[in-house]
Amino acid sequence: MMHNYIFKKILVNTHLYIGLILGLVITLICVSGSAIVYKPELEKLSVKKLAFVEPSDRIVPLQYLLDNVRKKYPQLTISNMVLYGGKDCAYSFRATSPDEKGRIQVYVNQYTGEVLGIDRYRHKIFQWLYDLHVKLLLKKNGVVWVAVFGFLLIFLIVSGLFLYPSKKIFNFRQGEKPGVRCYRLHIVIGLFTALFLFLIAFTGCYFGFKKEFHTVFESVSSGKALQPAPKVEEYSGQWISLDAIMDIACKEFTEGRPMMIFFPKDNKSVFSVRMYHRGDFERTGSNHIYIHPITGKVVKLNLWKEKPTPEKLTRSMYFIHFGTFWGHYSRILWIFIGLVVPFLYFTGFYAWWSKLKRRQNTPYSAPRKRKSLASS
């Protein structure tokens, strides 16, 4: 019995002081995460003149769009082409430049072939919030530190559930002290959001310790946790057109919808067409068609339904953490859950502070001595 009391006392104090001392950093990570749930859409709205176009019945050839971009910005190295979005969303090419740091997005009008302009991510508040959430604005080991705080959040969740009081915590009464009310709210809200917070925290830890997670996933079932893009024998010559790449991918996976085209990185790499299939948890699809840039041969299919369990677990870290597994419903829920964390922090802090002040204002009285039998 004494051991249980000591253990609970240690757990209470650990939960309390981790929450008080490090809770503010955890709060910043979670609030910034909520702020960037709709980062892609907000970034497009910030460059509305570039990112949106007037829809038409005819789309110009993709190769024509690529040629126009290369002609206007020959210094850019293009990494992929983005096709997803509504009919009024412009296509775009993601690229890098030797003269600039960070990613660049070149928007094109798929109906006219016009190159609309360049968007540079690093100049936006959204990118600052992203860097805050992912690496705490640190240049080195920031992702690892965020993962460590994720594990601390998991500890707070689990210890909070373990310490859940047996007394009737839901009995809110009129006239009770603010500190007591905050204590009740802290427990009740924490109880109802614990599962969601755990999922967000656990999947967030993955990004700081990918190798370790992959090892665990691969121990669960056979197969690789992360399948690299296939390599082919060194080639030379002119690539087939993007339109040919698209046709090959659509014929190979007829039930899929092309979302992105990833370009070869060198003369041993291949094209990868990312395709969305109804029911995919990832917003941009979970299926890849790998195509040889010279011959047009399908080198490999990597479809969600055929992925090994370790790879599915790996991919689930992404769509669970980003909240894309249930469309807008899960993304809105994730925003709310992220904003619950500052509520838990401040209610916990106020409950502790109120209790501390109450103790300080209570006059100390020495314990009475029990009368001995000899003096009676």
20 with 349: CB under 8 angstroms? yes
CA distance 57 to 182: 58
- pLDDT reading at 123 higher than 70: no
DSSP 3-state of 327: helix
Q: What is the pLDDT of residue 170?
A: 72
Q: What is the pLDDT of residue 247?
A: 98
Q: What is the pLDDT of residue 194?
A: 97
pLDDT tens digits for range 190-218: 999 999 999 999 999 999 999 999 999 99
Q: How confident is the model at residue 172 (pLDDT cuts 50, 70, 90)?
A: confident
- pLDDT reading at 297 higher than 90: yes
- pLDDT reading at 269 higher than 60: yes
Q: What is the pLDDT of residue 231?
A: 96
Q: What is the pLDDT of residue 367?
A: 56
Q: What is the 3-state secondary structure (H, E, C) of 348-373?
A: HHHHHHHHHHHHHHCCCCCCCCCCCC
- Which of 7-11, 24-28, 119-123, 263-267 shows the lowest per-residue confidence on average (mean pLDDT)? 119-123
- Mean pLDDT, residues 131-154: 96
* Bridge partner list, 257: 276
DSSP 3-state of 88: coil
pLDDT tens digits for range 340-362: 999 999 999 999 999 898 888 77
| Residue burial 321-341, b: 16+ Cβ < 10 Å; e: rest | bbbbbeeeebbeebbebbebb
- pLDDT reading at 365 higher than 60: no
Q: How many CB atoms lie within 10 A of CB 105?
A: 20
Beta strands in the chain, from DSSP E residues, in sequence order: 77-82, 91-96, 104-108, 115-120, 257-262, 271-276, 287-291, 298-302
- Which of 68-72, 174-178, 370-374 shows the lowest per-residue confidence on average (mean pLDDT)? 370-374
